[in-house]
Structure 1
Amino acid sequence: MRSRVRAAGHAVHPILIVFPLGLLTTSVGFDVLHLITDRVSFAFTAAHLVAAGVLLGVVTAVTGWLDWWLVVPPGTRARRIGLLHGLVNAAVLVLFALSWVLRLSADEWNPTWPALIASWLGLLAGGLGGWLGGELVERLGISVEEDAHPDASSSLSSSRR
């Protein structure tokens, strides 16, 4: 069950995910720095990191949905986990996009509390989405192992493959 969206022999989705994940996580760090220092440059940087992270997140999501649609067998645990992974990460993108929109009208990109809360919720949801993605790759072998185990038990259960 290797990924159909490949480049130079590797699945594209796991390669791309580091970019939106890094950008969006770093934006939250810059928001915290802005709260501590009140420096406008931190707020400005956070807003632009959010925009870049959401845009790259959409591109990354397309590759993930293609793999889910083309590779993961229907009726399997992997298909259910993949759907949940995609929906959670779509919610992450919506939360960060909302945060960005709320920053548009702000004076000098200073984030409002609703913008900050949307980003923080997006970061928390991103942790869950990342764990689900790890479950797909590390436990079930989706997109990386030809003879994947799409119905393996959860990594949280005491039973192993």
Structure 2
Amino acid sequence: MSADDIVRSLKERGETVATAESLTAGLVTAALTDVPGSSAVVRGGLVVYATDLKHTLAGVDEALLAEHGAVHPEVARQLAEGARARCGATWGLGLTGVAGPDPQDGVAPGTVHVGLSGPSGSSVVTLTLGGDRHEVRRRSTSAALDLLRTHLKISVE
């Protein structure tokens, strides 16, 4: 899972990215900023592990959180949009899910929603990932980077 191609593509395009992460708690931002020169394209990241911070920091609708809980596709979409808007980035990534080992709000471990917000709108991918807590978080990070890579139309070599 290399973020080099994403950073390079964003630099070439003159675009930027920001994140709002729950279950990954900054792993996506860390992966991006491991790349030398990433400061030119990574605007910032919000770690919104607590449910109330999803609203106060990332702008997720309080009623949505109250009705559906923190692990919901629309929450991921709003996290991505919030990261993009609050950090002034071209692209926003939002992640929410259950890393485990226990369910959260009746949602099974391994359930992950990855949101992407960009110039042409927003989308969400829902995944069911196997493995332990560490593996779910690692695979969620990869999925978020892959989603951005796909929208940037970067071929994987």
Higher relative contact order (CA 8 A, sep 6+): 1
TM-score by length of 1: 0.27
More helix by share: 1
Tell me which structure has the larger Cα radius of gyration. Answer: 1
Q: TM-score scaled by structure 2?
A: 0.28
